[in-house]
Structure 1
Amino acid sequence: MGLEIILNKIKEYKTIIIHGHLRPDGDCYGSQFGLKDIIKSSFPEKEVYVVG
């Protein structure tokens, strides 16, 4: 998936949920929260949740 496609999907929705993989480890959580921070800094009006 290209960056432009991902950005268009983020723009399309008000609420974004970031899921981790089965039996998440520290890398998984770090990536999830890092992505949440990037989305929130670029799109402060979005509701972003980390689950799993």
Structure 2
Amino acid sequence: MDQVKPRLHLAAGEQGLDIQNLRKSYRKKVVIRDFSMTLQRGEVVALLGPNGSGKTTT
């Protein structure tokens, strides 16, 4: 079995992804306002919702 080597090396506790004050709009309709999120190394998040709730377009 081949082993996969990670491309990004982060120290323990170091931020893997940092999003601050994200805003998204479609034409004049604001759909996300002031969204912030920080993921640490090894954290995983998932977007859950019913069919038709916009998961794919997010």
**Structure 1 length-normalised TM:** 0.26
Higher-Rg structure is 2
> Which structure features the higher share of helix residues?
1
**Structure 2 length-normalised TM:** 0.25
Higher relative contact order (CA 8 A, sep 6+): 1
> Which structure features the higher share of strand residues?
2
